[in-house]
Amino acid sequence: MTFAKIRMETIYYEHVPGGYGQIRYNPLLLANVTNTQLEEWFLNYKYLHFLLNKDTEEEFAQYKLPVEFEYSMRTRSRSFQELADHSKILIDQSLFQDLFRVMVSTLEKANEMIEITNLKKVGCSIEDFKVEIKKKVKAFHKKPFPEKVKKFEVEEGFKEYLEALKAVNKARNCFEHRNGVLGKEDCNSGDKLVMNCRYPAPVGRDNKPIEILDRMPLGEHYRCEFVETKLKYRISEKLKMGFVDSYKLIYTINFALKGIVDDIYRKCSFDEQIWIIKQFKCEQDAGHNKTGHNKTDKLPRRN
């Protein structure tokens, strides 16, 4: 087994000849994978945003169905603006589904790491331990999303970002079940859905953050600060996320992820290495280490 091979996986169950085995897992790699997926999600949103804003009714009208349907009396017709509005809802629905999948896969992999950290030696080999972990992973997978979020015991400063994850789930349900019209079941604060966001932004001389679509005059210097804001959506209104709000959202999800990754490291005993290595002593050494504490060997340090 080589270090390069291990690097490809966030969790690696390693068989040790003549021994129980050990597990290597890398929460920082999980963070990198999730960050990459969030960046890809944002760039998809960026592409669709600029593509939709470029369209005009005249350009749209040039392209028609080459063959009319035989029974083509329409029960209703839509204006260009109605088509555009409907398309934006479909795009938001699809993008929220994609974002939700990223969040779920991250939470499930983070949960597996926490289960590995907490579980003591099971059976006669690492395979027995792996079977027990898979049972816990399967049980976690079946939980509703809010219950998944509750599993993570992050420090106080990160709890509001976990709440933001649940708010994203409510927005996703709103698009999925109510076509983007906010219902009572989608609210988390009275008759509103509120998302607490934190994101980096350049700040002007008036101390106001400059949004990503705002113009910035050349030659001026701007300081960058983290900005706290709330995205609010009222009941019975169309839920509009928008390109600018999506930028704020992915940073908020990253703060939630940081709280989760920090919590995994806090539960472990290691020497600031890349990999957390959970080792299990042989039976003759059981008196020395009965619980199978987490340790690390001397792998290269993270720069």
Query: pLDDT tens digits for 27-48?
Result: 999 999 999 999 998 888 888 8
Burial letters 208-235, b for 16+ CB under 10 A, else e: ebbeeeeeeeeeeeeeeeebeeebebee
Closest CA to 274 of 251, 303, 294, 245: 303
More confident residue, 299 or 221: 221
Q: Is 201 helix (H, G, I), strand (E, B) or coil?
A: strand
Neighbours of 110 (CB within 10 A): 23
More confident residue, 95 or 257: 257
DSSP summary character for residue 11: E
The reported pLDDT for the residue numbered 270 is: 61
Q: What are the pLDDT digits (tens) for 161-197?
A: 999 899 999 999 998 899 889 999 999 999 999 988 8
The reported pLDDT for the residue numbered 69 is: 66
Mean pLDDT of the chain: 82
**Is it the case that residue 15 has pLDDT exceeding 90?**
no
**Is it the case that residue 296 has pLDDT exceeding 50?**
no
DSSP summary character for residue 237: S
pTM over 0.85: no
- With contact defined as beta carbons under 8 Å apart, do 252 and 164 qualify? yes
The reported pLDDT for the residue numbered 288 is: 39
- Helix H segments across the chain? 3-7, 27-54, 57-61, 80-118, 126-141, 145-150, 159-178, 242-266
Beta bridge partners of 278: 23, 294
End-to-end CA distance of the chain: 23
Query: Of 72-76, 201-205, 222-226, 268-272, which range is least confident?
Result: 268-272
Distance CA 271, CA 74 (A): 69
- With contact defined as beta carbons under 8 Å apart, do 118 and 269 qualify? no
DSSP summary character for residue 302: P
**Is it the case that residue 71 has pLDDT exceeding 70?**
no
The reported pLDDT for the residue numbered 272 is: 56
